[in-house]
Amino acid sequence: MTASDFKLSPLQGPAPQGQVITDPEAVRLRLRRLSEDLTPEIFFETMQAGLGGRSEAIPLRSAPTEAGLRHWLEAVKLLRGVLADKGWQPLDRRNSPLIISQDQRKAIVVMTGDAETGRDSERQPRNQAEKGGVTQSYVEANSQAELLYADALIQAEQQDACGTQVWVLLYHYDNMLDEVRFELSLPNDFHKGYITSWAERLILGSLSNAAEHLEPEDEAPSDIFEVEPRSARQ
């Protein structure tokens, strides 16, 4: 099966609704269950690349949206590149770039989220930018899959791949804290352009961007120093 054969349809398999996993080791184990190719390090590298892209924007010269756009572009590029090297297949649907596992059972898309992203709180995070029909089709397929979860324990031994779960690498850049928070989560409800509910959330952590904004006096001292001429010392 190739990326051109990719389609969204219900996927049989247990996935606890509303579960939020924050413990780093538990997150690592859950990622491994999703795919042996997935590790927390991959997503940290993805966000580091995003921060690198963000730093290319020049204050007061770049367009207001350039930093955020560069962050997203570099994150998408690195994640798809790393996973493509592991056999995953890129797929672009109406400007929604995905990367799909070799067995077609999992796909990942990168999105910006609101301030609740990466936090274990009572409020659910949402995608920051309003999304259209493509995202809605992903969410609806994930939601349909949940209807099968009641029977999943019985049918777990018969897991023929009949569809693809689309997970979201959701991230939020906090300007006040100068950091990016991120999570890998499975959406299951969509309303008026926004993802409003998640079947499962894996809180990956945060990365500080403070190093990108060091003042000159905070930089490490140079190894170059001046030597007074001998004639001046005599």
pLDDT tens digits for 74-120?
A: 999 999 999 999 999 998 876 678 899 999 999 999 999 999 999 99
Percent of the chain scoring above 90 in pLDDT: 46
How high is the pLDDT of residue 4? 54
How high is the pLDDT of residue 181? 97
Q: Which residue(s) pair with 113 in the sheet? A: 127
Residue 64 Cα distances to 5, 49, 57, 59, 91, angstroms: 39, 20, 9, 9, 29
How high is the pLDDT of residue 131? 52
CB count in 10 Å sphere of residue 87: 10
Q: In what order do the strands lie in the sheet with 165-174?
A: 19-21, 194-208, 179-191, 165-174, 106-112, 96-100, 89-93
Range of lowest pLDDT (11-20, 112-121, 212-221): 212-221
CB count in 10 Å sphere of residue 161: 15
The 10s digit of each residue's pLDDT in 138-187 is 544 444 434 333 333 233 223 334 478 889 999 999 999 999 999 999 98
How high is the pLDDT of residue 63? 86
- Quote the CA–CA distance of 100 and 166 in Å, as a whole number: 9
Closest-CA residue to 163 (of 141, 187, 135): 141
How high is the pLDDT of residue 80? 97
Q: The whole model's pTM is what? A: 0.73
Look at the block and give the residue holding tokens 């959330």: 201
How high is the pLDDT of residue 114? 94
The pLDDT confidence band at residue 7, using thresholds 50, 70 and 90, is low
Structure tokens at 80: 């798809």
How high is the pLDDT of residue 217? 37
- Quote the CA–CA distance of 115 and 127 in Å, as a whole number: 10
Contact criterion met (CB below 8 Å) for 91 and 107: yes
How high is the pLDDT of residue 223? 37
How high is the pLDDT of residue 159? 32
The 10s digit of each residue's pLDDT in 45-81 is 999 999 999 999 888 888 888 888 899 999 999 999 9
Residue 210 Cα distances to 81, 148, 200, angstroms: 26, 45, 30
